[in-house]
Structure 1
Amino acid sequence: MLKTSAKRLSVRAICLAAVTFVTVAVTAGVAWAAYTDNMYPTQYEQTACFSESGSDGQVSCQTDNSALTYYPDESGSNALEAVDRTVVHRVLADQFGPTDLTVSYDSTPSYSGNAETDIIFEESSTGLSSSAAGMTFCNNAADGLRCDQQYIRIRGGGYYTSGVTCHETGHAVGLLHGSSASPRKSNSDERLGCMETPTDHFEGLEANNIELINNTY
């Protein structure tokens, strides 16, 4: 459930094919004013959230509520190495934990039902283009805006950096590239933090990303 008290207030009409929205934002009597709005949906990205078995390059979902659970795969062909699981835990705790999201590690992940683990991290190059370090896709859409469970795939061989992990997790909570922001920004704009592309090794959330997360969740 989206919180609305002293938050970004949004009225969205959602259908299967598109998302149309009107945003009215007030925080303590002052108009909401981030550097740019790169939280899905924006006027430049309104493709409705939908379920996929792999990424088509279209990242258009928020997570389903402020309680964010995650699991770095520990077994099977897509399991993360121990060092990569450490990166995931650190990024989720240090970057997303201080926001208004309530982040928790799910040691017994659920893949179906009413309490699915929100983000499953995999180490795999399946479905990745030759130039992509990772991808995020919705496995189970809740509606045209939110996703119950999302998968993050990052290729092995040193690609599980703090920056890439932050970038793909940002997509999972709804953050977009600069070219989809309103007003539009360069994808390489450093004020987008780890959502800029290409993403630096140790890059994290910047003030704009944190403000958008807190005003959404």
Structure 2
Amino acid sequence: MLTVDFRRLPVGPGHRVLDLGCGGGRHAFEVLRRGGDVVAFDQDAAELEGVANMFAAMEKAGEVPSGATAQTVVGDALDMPFPDDDFDRVIAAEVLEHIPDDMTAMREIVRVLKPGGLLAVTVPSFLPERICWALDEDYHTVPGGHVRIYTLAELKAKLKACGLRVGPHHYAHGLHAPYWWIKCAVGVKNDDHPLAKAYHKLLVWDIMKRPAVTRVAEALLNPLIGKSVVVYARKPER
């Protein structure tokens, strides 16, 4: 399930791409399929082990274009072990809302991004996130959980303050917001609730089958209750 629109963040052979806070690696896998050279970066070594295993499985299955490379790196978003101007593209998907010092993380992104390079940032969108926080305190108070709710204006202003030229934005995963509202209403840790289980089954069906009815429904819901907002930006040329 991708949040970034790769039509707005074109990636291909010759592009060195950082997937910052990659988590399970969903965007890193897509970059590799498109022929980019991807670095999956996260502070969770155990999660990165699974990402590395998936990279190897993709290579074995013939899903990796010739010349494309992939690696995993453990580290801190506030002090990344990469030189200045190292990446053509940076993806930061659902990570900044976890970082108390988000401005330092943004400045690090700008530092490692090449002049003229492109950035895609995704965070939970304001309204769906605010409802989740209101319904269940456990949703955002768990260790490593969300520490802020961004407005779109705040996110864009912070990116601009770091020297980026902010471009278009869009919303994603409109079908997923109601699922999290249900989870928060019944208890975010209550995975066995019948309503939560039924809605989760619907989401899995949508992800696997991509039927037209849910694709149309999500397109209509995204501007209203999209779970994530995605902002695209460019680092100015020197």
TM-score, with structure 1 as normaliser:
0.26
- Quick check: which one's helix share is greater? 2
Q: Which has the larger radius of gyration?
A: 2
